[in-house]
Amino acid sequence: MGHHASDPNKIVNITIDGIPVSCPETTLILDAAKMAGIDIPVLCYHPDLKVRATCRVCIVEVKGQKKFKTACGNEVWDGAEFITNSPAVRQARKDILELILAEHPQDCLKCVRNTNCELQKLARDFGISKPQFANKPNPIPIEDSNGVIVRDMAKCVKCGRCVEVCQEVQTVGAINTAHRSVEYEITTAFDRSLQDTVCVYCGQCIAVCPVGALYEKDETEKVWQAIADADKHVVVQVAPAVRVALGEEFGMAPGSIATGKMVAALRRLGFDKVFDTDFAADVTIMEEGNELLERMSHGGVLPLITSCSPGWINFVETFYPELLPHVSSCKSPQQMFGALAKTYYAQKAGIDAGKMTVVSIMPCTAKKYESARPEINGSGYRDVDVVITTRELARMIKQAGIDFNKLDDQEFDAPLGISTGAAVIFGTSGGVMEAALRTVYEVVTGKELVDVDFESVRGLTGIKEAEVDLDGKKVKVAIANGLKNARQILDKIKAGECDYQFVEIMCCPGGCIGGGGQPHGTTKAVREERMAGIYQADRELPIRQSHKNPAVTALYEEFLGKPLSRKSHELLHTHYHPRHK
């Protein structure tokens, strides 16, 4: 009681371990400590999420107070003296870790997060060696029946990050906390399997999990087997957002463009052809751009909403089925690629599509679900056979003993590896919209676009809006970055309060650069760096508009005819349907 709201403009003077710090009154003890060069250990804390202060690992002593305070859960106040490193604090932190470990399976060697686990790191830093408590892990069976997200809740440290991401960042609400005390757990409603919930498989829960309680269903073995099978022609496609994140797994800074090394590594792994999802992204622009123009000129349902992000598709099918007519009938680039690989490419290269395996490397977990949709296939086969995440690819490269950093840059194979800057920006929020505008402008106006950079649709803002003048015809567009923001736009559309013509929705915050299949440690800062990498890659490409991609032009000339042709519809378009709730 007696608390007053802290003032961001008031600078206070404090000490942390005797080091004086001046900072705004609204600074968390944790951040003030950083200013003094002190890294207070955290477990439940995540820089992008709300403070929960539940694990209590970050406790500090306050001079004059008996009880500890959490550094993540408390702001500083004038004159406060914090001690972060007393024997009492160290002992209490160690005891808290021991309490967590008592419940934990402690099978680090067999854990997907081995060497990349926040709990493991803390246990090592605190020198935890001999057991203080009897180790009695909860015998909770691993749930992996949905084929996308694996839940190994025996390893859960109950930090609640996944719950917050699911409930508040994505507003999906598939998981929550339940029960109390020793039975307190993170679970689904009525303990259902994930596939019987509203889960959209975005994998954001995996992205924020500090330990090995949540991870993607590993399908690398399927890929190894396909590669090893001499009868199989195995082609691989790589989504744009993978190239600016994969390097992190090999010690590179976030956002480092590793395209050339990645292609080289894929070739070394033994893929017969190394192609690029970007090629299909350019095709997507041709189809979706024309779908937009078609709807605009023929009184179709507007706004048109993009359909590239499979987590978003699951979301609209689950929560807004009445808005499905707004969703573009275009398949995602991944699925367009699969359909074209097993028809156009197979035909061109004289390969039996039945003996082809199409592997996708995706920054996304929902892509695994998408590729398994029965209605998505157009080639007469399953269009995409296996989807692995950025993390899984990194594991394969490590298993193969490839020294990633020493690889020489190589180029994608032709023709499905030829792409443009418009395609690469698909990897970040606003990218699909910008790529579409680059093409639609020229198609509608017949004029050359002088400046292809649509800055207003870039960045990590929740909802971005822009108005584009297409020769006197104004087109209003909007971009929703993450599902919570999508909800806002969708509610407006439902209420008839939207005058947008085109809306891009990306399931994951930041778009694919922040996808659920990306290397662990994704934060807002990391997203920004990956995003910068994407725009750099765009700038460095000679062609930056999809309709100028010569391979795409050839595809239409040789195979599809024109966008929205009958053949396009057969191979590149699909339909969506309401999903159970």
- Give the residue numbers marked as catalytic: 288, 291, 308, 328, 367, 370, 375, 512
Number of residues that bind other proteins (CB under 8 A): 38
Q: 143, 193 in Cβ contact below 8 A?
A: yes
DSSP states along 112-133: TTTTS-HHHHHHHHTT--S-SS
CB of 291 to other proteins, least distance (A): 43
Strands 11-16 and 81-83: parallel
CA 439 to chain centre: 26
Strand partners, 210: none
Positions 107 through 136 that interact with other proteins (CB under 8 A): 132-134
d(CA 547, CA 358): 25
Kindly indicate which of the ranges 64-72, 448-456, 457-465, 533-541 contains the residues binding other proteins, using the contact rule CB under 8 A. Answer: 64-72
Please give the biggest Cα pair distance in the chain: 80
Residue 162 touching other proteins (CB under 8 A): no
Residue 179 touching other proteins (CB under 8 A): yes
d(CA 185, CA 367): 28
Residue 175 touching other proteins (CB under 8 A): no
Residue 158 touching other proteins (CB under 8 A): yes
**Residue from 23, 28, 29, 55 binding other proteins (CB under 8 A):** 55
Identify the H or E element spanning 170.
none
CB of 178 to other proteins, least distance (A): 8
Kindly indicate which of the ranges 46-54, 286-294, 391-399, 518-526 contains the residues binding other proteins, using the contact rule CB under 8 A. Answer: 46-54
Residue 96 touching other proteins (CB under 8 A): yes
148 phi and psi angles, rounded to 5 deg: -125, -65
Which residues touch 311 (CB under 8 Å, ≥6 apart)?
Answer: 200, 201, 202, 203, 364, 365, 366, 483, 507, 508, 516
Which residues touch 350 (CB under 8 Å, ≥6 apart)?
Answer: none
Token couple for 452: 């292809």
- Residue (of 203, 192, 239) closest to 311 by Cα position: 203
Residue 91 touching other proteins (CB under 8 A): yes
Residue 180 touching other proteins (CB under 8 A): yes
Residue 353 touching other proteins (CB under 8 A): no
DSSP states along 32-49: HHHHTT-----SS--TTS
Residue 56 touching other proteins (CB under 8 A): yes
**Residue from 32, 42, 49, 100 binding other proteins (CB under 8 A):** 100
- Closer to other proteins by Cβ: residue 91 or 193: 91
CB of 495 to other proteins, least distance (A): 25
The verdict on whether omega for the bond into residue 303 sits within 30 degrees of 0, i.e. cis, is yes
d(CA 105, CA 377): 41
Residue 181 touching other proteins (CB under 8 A): yes
CA 396 to each of CA 253, 269, 406: distance values in angstroms, whole numbers, following the listed order: 20, 8, 16
- Closer to other proteins by Cβ: residue 28 or 150: 28
- Closer to other proteins by Cβ: residue 4 or 110: 4
Kindly indicate which of the ranges 66-74, 345-353, 435-443, 494-502 contains the residues binding other proteins, using the contact rule CB under 8 A. Answer: 66-74
**Residue from 81, 95, 272, 528 binding other proteins (CB under 8 A):** 95
**Residue from 59, 198, 340, 477 binding other proteins (CB under 8 A):** 59
Residue 3 touching other proteins (CB under 8 A): yes
- Closer to other proteins by Cβ: residue 24 or 300: 24
CB of 154 to other proteins, least distance (A): 15
CA 159 to chain centre: 21
**Residue from 12, 30, 76, 103 binding other proteins (CB under 8 A):** 103
CB of 107 to other proteins, least distance (A): 19
**Residue from 15, 26, 54, 329 binding other proteins (CB under 8 A):** 54
Strands 273-276 and 233-238: parallel
Q: Give contact residues for other proteins (rule: CB under 8 A).
A: 1-3, 5, 51-57, 59, 66-68, 73, 75, 88, 91-92, 95-96, 99-100, 102-103, 132-134, 158, 160, 177, 179-184
